[in-house]
Amino acid sequence: MAASEVDPVIRQFRDQICDNDLKILELINKRVKLVTKLWEYKRAQELDVYAPAQEEWLLTYADRANKGPLSRDALHEIYRHVIEVTQHEARRLG
């Protein structure tokens, strides 16, 4: 067994990371459900589901909320991927 596997400090950090990963997973699933419901509503109202201006607004909003250490470029990369995956899943579910 490697020393890193029994080191209590390393174990504590890994546990905290796992806890955060589960929170991220929960929130992404909630996002997919909300977007799916939004799209269903928009379709019922005969509105376009795609809103590029909203995506840009989200990136600006996230930029302002970001206190770091995540860089702006990394933040945008993550959000663009989250948006893409959310759209794909919403299409699959809707």
Sequence letter at residue 34: L
- Whether the per-residue pLDDT at 68 is higher than 80: the answer is yes
Q: Global pTM?
A: 0.87
For position 25, what pLDDT does the model report?
98
CB 32 within 8 A of CB 91: no
For position 6, what pLDDT does the model report?
83
Domain limits, the chain:
3-93
Does domain 3-93 fall into CATH 1.20.59.10?
yes
- Whether the per-residue pLDDT at 8 is higher than 70: the answer is yes
- CB atoms inside a 10 Å sphere around CB 35: 19
Mean pLDDT of the chain: 95
For position 94, what pLDDT does the model report?
84
69-80 b/e with 16+ CB inside 10 Å = b? eeeeeebeeebe
End-to-end alpha carbon distance in the chain: 48
